[in-house]
Copies of this chain bind each other. A is one copy, B any other.
C-alpha cells in the first residue's frame, strides 16, 4: 500500500512537512497498518537543538503531518474507504500538543506511532508516540479537522 500522503490530490501535495511535490520539504510518510498510522523519519544532521539532540520544532513538524495523515486514514476507514489505496482527504491542524519526555538523540531513525482516539463528522483526535531506538521521547495529541473549503484555492477532493 502507498503512504497516505502519496495519495493526496496534487493540489494538496505541496506541504512542507509531507507534500511529495515540495522539493524543499520533509516528506513525512504515513503507512496505515492495523488501524494505526506508522511513520519512520530520519532527521538531517542540521536538525539539531543542542549538539547531539533533535530540534523540538522538527519533532513537532513530523508529528503534525503524521497525525494529519492518520486522521485521514481514520476518517477513510469510518467512511468505508481504504487508506493507502483510495485518495486521501486533506485534514488540517486545529491544535497540536507535544510533550517532550526526554531529549531525542540525533542520528537515529525516529519511529512514530499514531492512533485515532476520536473520529466524528467534524474532527479526528490523534495520539502520537515518537520513539528512538525503542525509547519513547515525545508524546503528542493533535486535533485535526477537514481542510475548510475557504482554504482550498484550486484543489478539489472527493
Contacts and interface: CB of A to CB of B under 8 A. Distances in A.
A27 interface: no
A107 interface: no
Nearest to A16: B55
A96 B56 contact: yes
Within the oligomer, what is the number of copies of this chain?
A: 2
Contacts of A24: 44, 46
B48 A14 contact: yes
A153 interface: yes
24 contacts: A11-B50, A11-B51, A15-B55, A16-B49, A16-B55, A16-B57, A22-B46, A24-B46, A50-B90, A50-B153, A53-B151, A56-B92, A56-B93, A57-B57, A57-B60, A58-B61, A60-B96, A61-B61, A92-B100, A92-B103, A94-B100, A95-B97, A95-B100, A103-B151
